[in-house]
Amino acid sequence: MTDFKSLHEGYVLAKRFGDSDMARSFLQRIEGMLKSSQDSIPPRDVARFQLTEAERMLYEPPPKGYEGALEILEKLPRDAPSITQEPGYFVFLAAALGQQYANETPRNPKTVERAIEAIRQARYAGQTDWLHYLADPNRGAREATKDDDLVVIAREQPEVWRALGMTAQADAARDRGAISP
Query: What tens digit of pLDDT does each residue of 132-142 get?
Result: 889 987 765 55
- Is the Cβ–Cβ distance between 114 and 97 less than 8 Å? yes
Tell me if residue 174 falls in helix, strand or coil. Answer: helix
pTM comes to 0.84
Please, which residues have CB within 8 angstroms of residue 110's CB and are 6 or more apart in sequence?
none
Domain ranges of the chain: 66-175
Q: 51 exposed, middle or buried (CB, 10 Å; 0-12, 13-18, 19+)? A: buried
Q: Which range has the worst mean pLDDT, 68-77, 95-104, 157-166?
A: 157-166
Which range, 110-114, 143-147, 171-175, is most confident?
110-114
- Is the Cβ–Cβ distance between 101 and 115 less than 8 Å? yes
- Is the Cβ–Cβ distance between 37 and 3 less than 8 Å? no
- Is the Cβ–Cβ distance between 55 and 47 less than 8 Å? no
Residue with the larger pLDDT of the pair 172 and 149:
149
